[in-house]
Amino acid sequence: MLVLLAGWTVYLDAVVTSRFEGRRFEVPSRVYARPLELYDGAAISASALRQDLELAGYRSGDGSRPGTWQQNGSRFLISTRGFGFADGDEPRRRLSLTVSGGRVTGYRVLEGDNSPIIRLEPAEIGGIYPAHGEDRVLISLEDAPPLFEEALLTTEDRSYYDHFGIAPLSIGRAMMANIKAGRVVQGGSTLTQQLAKNLYLSRDQTLIRKGNEALMALLLEWHYDKRDILETYLNEVYLGQTGSRSINGFGLASQFYFRKRFQNLELHESALLVGMVKGPSYYDPRRNPERALARRNLVIDLLEEDGVVEPAVADKARSAPLDVAARPSWSENRYPAFIDLVRRHLARDYRQEDLQSNGLRIFTTLHPAIQEQAEKVTSQTLDQFDQGSSNTRLEAAMVVTSRDSGEVLALVGGRDAGFAGFNRALDARRPIGSLVKPFVYLTALSRPDRYTLITPVKDVGLALEFENGQRWEPGNFDHKQRGEVPLHQALSRSWNLPTVRVGLDVGVPAVIATLQDFGVTSDINPYPSMLLGSVTMEPVAVAQAYQGLATSGFNTPLRTIRDVTDANGEALSRYKLEVNQVADPAAVHLVQYAMQEVMREGTGRSAYRTISENLGLAGKTGTTDDGRDSWFAGFSGDLLAVTWVGRDDNGPTSLTGATGALPIWTRFMATIPQHSFSPVVPDGVQYHWVNSEKGVLTDEHCENARLIPFIVGSEPQGFEGCDGDFSRRLRGWFEGLFQ
């Protein structure tokens, strides 16, 4: 029997030491959204501001206690808590501002460091957790706020510094206290026993388990000193549950319940957390505020009785409200598709086990308001498509980036955005159809000696015969042939025959080279069918390629992460903005003209039935055979968005780019305050009034006159006014005079 006990003790000792040392350092990484930056002129709507505040754990209140905000009409009072960013601390401030017309005005710092721009604390949007789902923010004993240790020991284990793991005396004292109070106010277990229970044992109440617990407590005390054990207890104690994750330790609990750092807790907050140890769910201050308040005040009573705090201090703490922050949004991984991309980017530089256990802080580019809007619009639009139609089980994906920085602001992986399944934005690889056309025409327009926007292109059928005897006979979507059309119209109307002719003229290899310059990495078969988009790409890869078209020919690698720091805020990596010129800005400018024409007159013009004409947009539709893929890729001054609609089984649909992907894109764009797309005319480009059908310069007020950009030297030489139409010219002259 004795041998058995000795053997068992040796076994438990091994368990105790290995688990105690191993477990102390496992801290998941935290993932943050981009912080909201507020300044005069910032583009934001009132609802998006409220949403950002709520996500960052702000409460609607008086706007003067840190972490509260108040709205009065369009005026906001915001009191920030301050935050340690990778590039320095953002101090606590109080500010007032007005949100109107989609932007911030009247920004003023009322209290704190004056600055024309401030950052709110970023919303926490997820974490990278160890497999067992336990979450914690590591703290050290030195971090404990004043009176915290006293409150904990007074309530849970008065003789902590005197016992050797178990305390028969304290069991008796607990019984006395309970009798005095008429209910259970103290447990008999020492902190060490509680820790042993948490670390190693199941929750069942058996004598054997109690015996093991006592034995392990003794072993813990024998191996480690009191401070070490207490510190581990502070980090291990179970204090709540959110979804599948448990809230362990006072560090995380401070964040979870108060949105505060452990160090900054006030007495009434410390008392609440200490009180909750007894039953985190029973005393949950969000669900059972009255019980929690009574329990908290009991802890304060005990401190007062023991003379740890003066009666006046105790009274003040007892009269304070619970002060619990709004329930944080990161209770679950709310944006699984986006986090998926973040993880893939992180995997380039970090090992999975480091992410799960080293408590890294990952600052991402996610824009919560834009993400929510993208998700909402995608699922709503697909639901409408479903109604009374043959389009069953349509799926969709969407990628939204910041046009000039390449930051990924939102990512939708499917119609059920909360579901962490197949991420179509990253993994659905589909033929891009007409989305390839801007690259075909860019290749052509880069040769101004040969092509301009008004170069006439044959819109006449053709057949290609290959060496193996195969024939390829492309046709227009509407099966019509128009003889000859100006190049800009061929692109804006997405006609196939002119595209194939231009593509064959400049050469398929040249078009492939252009695509590769713009960051396309997928294999491209060098067949003429690639000119109509047989090349397959994922939505995120399309967004990458279009980034160069949306800027002035500069590739900007997509990024989801700005900074990674360690748990103490020390910078580990920074992912910088990069630009890389891959095309002549002048040629890109011409393509951008035609892509704006797509929206004004071409295949994308239905967008302006929803969006105000004042918002300048550019884009391109894409459709593949039998509507298997419906694409739209387009941009404003601020945002680039790519949408895809189709079926997971690659089956046919009745959609085109204009009727499937474009409505999602349009409804999304319509709700975001943003600037127009209005490209700067680059060096070497000049606008001329031309009659694009006749290919001549003309007068501004002639019929069919268009203001079209040309690379200098490639503009037409001939001129043809509008003879005979004297009254029109006269009217034009007057209009010109008074403009």
Partner 1 sequence: MSQTVKHFVLLSVFSLGLAGCASDIYAPPGGGDRGAQPAPQPPRVEEGEAPGSPRLSEQPRNERQQERAPTPGYQEQGDDLSPAAISLIERADALMADGQAEAALSQLERAQRISPRSAQVYFKLAEAYARTDNLGAAEQFTMKGLSLAGSNSRLQKAGWELLASIRHERGNVAGAEQAEKRARAL
Q: Tell which one of 155, 235, 552, 565 touches partner 1 (CB under 8 A).
A: 552
The closest alpha carbon to 562, from 120, 87, 68, 16, belongs to 87
Please provide residue 410's backbone torsions phi and psi, each rounded to the nearest 5 degrees: -155, 150
Q: Tell which one of 170, 255, 666, 691 touches partner 1 (CB under 8 A).
A: 666
Question: Which residues pair with residue 83 across a beta bridge?
Answer: 90
How far is the C-alpha of 222 from the C-alpha of 229, rounded, in Å?
A: 11
Question: Which residues pair with residue 565 across a beta bridge?
Answer: 361, 571
Question: Whose Cβ is closer to partner 1: residue 64's or residue 580's?
Answer: 580
| Interacting positions 559-598 with partner 1 (CB under 8 A) | 562, 574, 576-581, 585, 589, 592-593, 596-597
Helix axes 662-670, 368-386, angle to 10 degrees: 140
Residue 578 bears catalytic tag: no
The closest alpha carbon to 474, from 614, 621, 592, 625, belongs to 625
Count Cβ atoms below 10 Å from residue 686 Cβ, excluding itself: 14
Q: If binding is defined by CB under 8 A, does position 623 make contact with partner 1?
A: yes
Window contacting partner 1 (CB under 8 A); options: 225-233, 251-259, 489-497, 730-738: 489-497
Q: If binding is defined by CB under 8 A, does position 177 make contact with partner 1?
A: no
Question: Whose Cβ is closer to partner 1: residue 224's or residue 632's?
Answer: 632
How many residues sit close enough to partner 1 to count as binding (CB under 8 A)? 115
Q: If binding is defined by CB under 8 A, does position 193 make contact with partner 1?
A: no
| Interacting positions 106-145 with partner 1 (CB under 8 A) | 115-117
Min CB(370)–partner 1 separation in Å: 12
Question: Whose Cβ is closer to partner 1: residue 39's or residue 164's?
Answer: 39
Q: Tell which one of 223, 286, 291, 376 touches partner 1 (CB under 8 A).
A: 376
Q: If binding is defined by CB under 8 A, does position 632 make contact with partner 1?
A: no
Determine which one of 189, 254, 357, 434 is catalytic: 434
Give the 3-state secondary structure of residue 103.
strand
Min CB(668)–partner 1 separation in Å: 9
Q: Tell which one of 193, 455, 643, 674 touches partner 1 (CB under 8 A).
A: 674
Q: If binding is defined by CB under 8 A, does position 722 make contact with partner 1?
A: no
Min CB(98)–partner 1 separation in Å: 11
Q: Are the C-beta atoms of 406 and 639 separated by less than 8 Å?
A: no
Pairing of strands 618-623, 629-635: antiparallel
| Interacting positions 445-484 with partner 1 (CB under 8 A) | 477-478
Question: Whose Cβ is closer to partner 1: residue 484's or residue 601's?
Answer: 601
Q: How far is CA 641 from CA 399, 515, 629, in A?
A: 6, 19, 16
Min CB(609)–partner 1 separation in Å: 4
Q: Tell which one of 244, 352, 610, 650 touches partner 1 (CB under 8 A).
A: 610
Q: If binding is defined by CB under 8 A, does position 84 make contact with partner 1?
A: no
Question: Whose Cβ is closer to partner 1: residue 286's or residue 600's?
Answer: 600
How far is the C-alpha of 625 from the C-alpha of 631, rounded, in Å?
A: 12
Tokens coding 524: 């491209």
Chain-centre distance for alpha carbon 126: 10
Number of C-alpha atoms within 13 angstroms, CB side, residue 423? Answer: 17
Stated length of the chain: 739
How far is the C-alpha of 197 from the C-alpha of 212, rounded, in Å?
A: 9
Tokens coding 207: 């004598």
Locate tokens 């939505």: which residue?
Answer: 539
Q: If binding is defined by CB under 8 A, does position 487 make contact with partner 1?
A: no
Q: Tell which one of 449, 609, 713, 739 touches partner 1 (CB under 8 A).
A: 609
| Interacting positions 382-421 with partner 1 (CB under 8 A) | 384-385, 387-391, 402-405, 407
Angle 161-302-203 from CA coordinates, rounded to 5°: 65
Question: Whose Cβ is closer to partner 1: residue 46's or residue 326's?
Answer: 46
Q: Tell which one of 216, 615, 633, 641 touches partner 1 (CB under 8 A).
A: 615
Contacts by residues 306-313 (CB-CB < 8 Å, ≥ 24 positions apart): 306/154, 308/147, 308/150, 308/151, 308/154, 309/147, 309/267, 313/267
Q: If binding is defined by CB under 8 A, does position 50 make contact with partner 1?
A: yes
Q: If binding is defined by CB under 8 A, does position 486 make contact with partner 1?
A: no
Q: Are the C-beta atoms of 423 and 417 separated by less than 8 Å?
A: no
| Interacting positions 243-302 with partner 1 (CB under 8 A) | none
Min CB(623)–partner 1 separation in Å: 6
Min CB(409)–partner 1 separation in Å: 11
| Dihedral sign of CA atoms 350, 356, 362, 366 in order | positive
Min CB(617)–partner 1 separation in Å: 9
Q: If binding is defined by CB under 8 A, does position 519 make contact with partner 1?
A: no
**Residues 6 or more apart whose Cβ sits within 8 Å of residue 572:** 360, 564, 565, 566
428 exposure class (CB count in 10 Å sphere: 0-12, 13-18, 19+): buried
Tokens coding 49: 């501001």
Question: Whose Cβ is closer to partner 1: residue 126's or residue 657's?
Answer: 657
Please provide residue 533's backbone torsions phi and psi, each rounded to the nearest 5 degrees: 95, 35
Min CB(526)–partner 1 separation in Å: 26
Residue 149 bears catalytic tag: no
Determine which one of 90, 134, 156, 221 is catalytic: 156
Q: If binding is defined by CB under 8 A, does position 660 make contact with partner 1?
A: yes
Q: If binding is defined by CB under 8 A, does position 92 make contact with partner 1?
A: no
Question: Whose Cβ is closer to partner 1: residue 19's or residue 50's?
Answer: 50
Tokens coding 651: 């089956």
Q: If binding is defined by CB under 8 A, does position 437 make contact with partner 1?
A: no
Q: Tell which one of 512, 541, 618, 633 touches partner 1 (CB under 8 A).
A: 618
- DSSP string across 549-597: HHTTSEE---BSEEEEE-TTS-EEEE-----EE-S-HHHHHHHHHHHHH
Catalytic residues: 156, 434
